[in-house]
């Protein structure tokens, strides 16, 4: 089957499975009221108003009933009818009546299978027997029409695939993803925490998580200096007037923490780093010969995200962007954006991401500046993407209020998609702040600002890395790179000597000097996901060697300390 045709068939199957689930629920819960039951990515859901709350035990029972209906292989039959007739048919279904009222047409279509009838545009499968492989996954509360003022319904989610194998593959990938959940691993590996006492969405980085962050930041700084960026620092709070001028107060209000008053002046936590960099630029008169100027900052910003959307490290209220602003002349924009995209590609491959997708996000509903500025900036981005022959999709309306952007979304090892780097072209803030250079003609001209991050935010990027690597970080990022394990207490001082030699070379080594059995210490290092274990006993002491093991359990046998040192240094050098 052509893949498009197959997709179409799978979409019908997912939606048909939702009707079958509704029929099962109708049999098992007389008096159930029905909301909507669309297909979604990988599956389907249906919203119900039920006489009682669902328990986890209910799902297998509903599933059993669904299998019965599928086994009976009853046809899906459609009928077109007047709204009036449909209102009678759904007289006991208030949610359906509400939907009927909203349909502009004078007639509606219904679909029927077995004892169940639904208001539906279709399309559906020919009969229930065509549903191949499905599973109900979980239930959750959902407000009718997503409106918290309307009744809370019970939503049951399911997944469905064209074959049992595809379903099994999907479920095992999900199980693997659950094992890699950064919130779970972050705790197990002692990387970070959040605290109700501190406030939701505010992250404390523990020593090991902080160490990974430092390694990334050191690498980030070095790579920026190589590429002609200057590193700067700017304050976390600033006077409200600054955010008035920028338009943040007007266009970004929903994400701002409320202002605070000091000595009669209103101050605000910064939601973005742009303005500090603008003030640094404006501290001197700049000529066309000075451009481009590239200011980079690991800048911590604060955004008010609703409690409901906060999620581990991936969605937080305080985070550090690996930010930079490039101030350039209009004729330099394409060259600079090209450089940024190649920098992005370099960073992604350094961290082991092979799959990522580019999106061109265009003008949102609330925007600043003129249409022609937006047009010009969007064209510039498009032109670079096309020149570099990069595949991209358009994300309509997803730009920031001051300009369009290219978003890069990363796919991790278990297929999750993460928001990553972005590049934004901005003609708007330079006008608002009168950010100028003196041209060859001796006159003042507005610069173009390019806002960009090459990782995203340190918090979200770490979440993504944890899940991408399942906590087994490559050697260069591992907080502890080698654990030296003395077999007996008499080997501890030799173990310390080995540790010291490694540390001298900059290798992050530790000794497990507890009076525990060797196997227990090996297990502990494996759980900690330390890449190398160096076991030392009488034989190793006598030969100035170590016995080397990997966290995978692989035994590499004996090596001299120097050989082991060189091996680990080479692995650090190689990065991913
Ligand atoms: Zn339907
Ligand atoms: Zn910016």
For 363, counting Cβ atoms within 10 Å of its Cβ (0-12 exposed, 13-18 middle, 19+ buried), the class is buried
Closest ligand by atom to 11 CA:
1
Side-by-side strand order, sheet with 318-328: 230-231, 293-302, 318-328, 448-457, 417-426, 405-411, 355-361, 392-395
Whole-number Å distance between alpha carbons of 75 and 88: 23
3-state secondary structure of 194: strand
Q: What is the pLDDT along the chain (576 residues), one digit of tens a residue?
A: 557 788 899 999 999 999 999 999 999 999 999 999 999 999 999 999 999 999 989 999 999 999 999 999 999 999 999 999 999 999 999 999 999 999 989 999 999 999 999 999 989 999 999 998 999 999 999 999 999 899 999 999 999 999 999 999 999 988 988 999 999 999 999 999 999 999 999 999 999 999 999 999 999 999 999 999 999 999 999 999 999 999 888 888 889 999 999 999 999 999 999 999 999 999 999 999 999 999 999 999 999 999 888 999 999 999 999 999 999 999 999 999 999 999 999 999 999 998 889 999 999 998 888 888 889 889 999 999 999 999 999 999 988 888 899 999 998 888 888 999 999 999 899 999 999 999 999 999 999 999 999 999 999 999 999 999 999 999 999 999 999 999 999 999 999 999 999 999 999 999 999 999 999 999 999 999 999 999 999 999 999 999 999 999 999 999 999 999 999 999 999 987
CB contact at 8 A, 278 and 435: yes
Q: Can you tell me which residue has the tokens 């590996």? A: 189
CA of 521 to the centre of ligand 1 (A): 57
CA of 325 to the centre of ligand 2 (A): 6
CA of 473 to the centre of ligand 2 (A): 30
Closest ligand by atom to 22 CA:
1
* Tokens at 342, concatenated: 């190649």
How many of the other CB atoms lie within 10 Å of CB of 289?
Answer: 8
pLDDT of residue 367: 87
Whole-number Å distance between alpha carbons of 175 and 292: 48
CA of 83 to the centre of ligand 1 (A): 17
**Residues that place a CB less than 5 A from ion ligand 1:** 120
CA of 315 to the centre of ligand 2 (A): 19
pLDDT of residue 414: 83
CB-hemisphere CA count at 13 Å for 555?
A: 5
pLDDT of residue 2: 57
Closest ligand by atom to 39 CA:
1
For 526, counting Cβ atoms within 10 Å of its Cβ (0-12 exposed, 13-18 middle, 19+ buried), the class is middle
* Tokens at 364, concatenated: 């949102």
CA of 309 to the centre of ligand 1 (A): 30
Closest ligand by atom to 276 CA:
2
**Residues that place a CB less than 5 A from ion ligand 2:** 274, 451
Whole-number Å distance between alpha carbons of 37 and 93: 14
CA of 3 to the centre of ligand 1 (A): 22
Residues carrying an active site annotation? 274, 303, 321, 323, 325, 405, 451
3-state secondary structure of 266: strand
Closest ligand by atom to 38 CA:
1
Render the burial of 94-117: b for 16+ CB within 10 Å, e for the rest. Answer: ebbeebbeeeeeeebbbbbbbebb
CA of 405 to the centre of ligand 1 (A): 37
Instruction: Show Cβ contacts of residue 82 under 8 Å, excluding neighbours closer than 6 positions.
Output: 106, 107, 108
């Amino acid at each position: 089957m052509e893949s498009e045709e197959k997709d179409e068939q799978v979409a019908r199957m997912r939606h048909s499975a939702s009707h079958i689930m509704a029929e099962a629920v109708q049999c098992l819960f007389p008096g159930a009221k029905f909301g909507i039951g669309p297909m979604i990515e990988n599956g389907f859901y249906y919203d119900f108003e039920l006489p009682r709350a669902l328990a986890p035990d209910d799902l297998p029972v509903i599933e059993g009933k669904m299998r019965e209906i599928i086994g009976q292989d009853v046809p899906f039959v459609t009928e077109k009818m007047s709204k009036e007739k449909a209102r009678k048919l759904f007289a006991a279904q208030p949610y359906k009546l509400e939907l009927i009222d909203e349909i502009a047409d004078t007639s509606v279509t219904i679909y029927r299978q077995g004892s169940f009838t639904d208001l539906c545009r279709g399309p559906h499968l020919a009969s229930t027997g065509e549903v191949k492989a499905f599973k109900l996954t979980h239930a959750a509360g959902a407000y009718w029409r997503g409106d918290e003022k309307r009744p809370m319904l019970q939503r049951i989610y399911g997944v469905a695939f064209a074959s049992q194998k595809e379903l099994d593959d999907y479920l095992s990938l999900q199980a693997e993803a659950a094992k890699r959940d950064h919130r779970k691993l972050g705790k197990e590996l002692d990387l970070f925490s959040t605290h109700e006492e501190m406030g939701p969405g505010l992250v404390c980085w523990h020593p090991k998580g902080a160490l990974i962050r430092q390694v990334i930041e050191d690498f980030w700084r070095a790579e920026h200096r190589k590429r002609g960026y200057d590193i700067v620092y700017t304050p976390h709070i600033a006077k409200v007037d600054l955010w008035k001028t920028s338009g943040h107060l007007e266009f970004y209000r929903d994400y701002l923490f409320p202002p605070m008053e000091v000595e009669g002046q209103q101050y605000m936590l910064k939601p973005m780093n742009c303005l500090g960099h603008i003030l640094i630029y404006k501290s001197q008169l700049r000529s066309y010969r000075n451009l481009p100027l590239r200011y980079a900052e690991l800048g911590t910003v604060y955004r008010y995200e609703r409690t409901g959307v906060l999620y581990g490290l991936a969605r937080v209220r305080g985070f550090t962007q690996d930010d930079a602003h490039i101030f350039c002349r209009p004729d330099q924009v394409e060259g600079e954006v090209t450089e940024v995209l190649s920098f992005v590609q370099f960073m992604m491959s350094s961290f082991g991401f092979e799959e990522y997708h580019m999106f061109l996000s265009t003008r949102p509903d609330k925007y600043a500046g003129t249409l022609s500025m937006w047009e010009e900036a969007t064209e510039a981005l498009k032109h670079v993407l096309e020149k570099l022959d990069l595949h991209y999709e358009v994300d309509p309306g997803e730009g920031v209020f001051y300009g369009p952007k290219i978003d890069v979304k990363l796919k991790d090892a278990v297929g999750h998609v993460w928001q990553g780097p972005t590049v934004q072209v901005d003609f708007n803030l330079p006008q608002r702040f009168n950010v100028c250079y003196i041209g060859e003609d001796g006159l003042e001209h507005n610069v173009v600002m390019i806002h960009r991050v090459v990782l995203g935010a340190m918090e979200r990027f770490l979440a993504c890395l944890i899940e991408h690597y399942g906590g087994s970080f490559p050697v260069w990022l591992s907080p502890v790179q080698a654990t030296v394990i003395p077999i007996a207490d008499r080997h501890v001082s030799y173990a310390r000597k080995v540790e010291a030699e490694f540390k001298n070379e900059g290798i992050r080594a530790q000794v497990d000097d507890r009076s525990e059995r060797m196997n227990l210490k090996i297990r502990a290092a494996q759980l900690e996901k330390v890449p190398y274990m160096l076991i030392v006993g009488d034989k190793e002491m006598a030969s100035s060697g170590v016995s080397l093991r990997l966290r995978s359990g692989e035994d590499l046998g004996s090596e001299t300390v120097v050989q082991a040192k060189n091996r680990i240094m080479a692995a650090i050098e190689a990065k991913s």
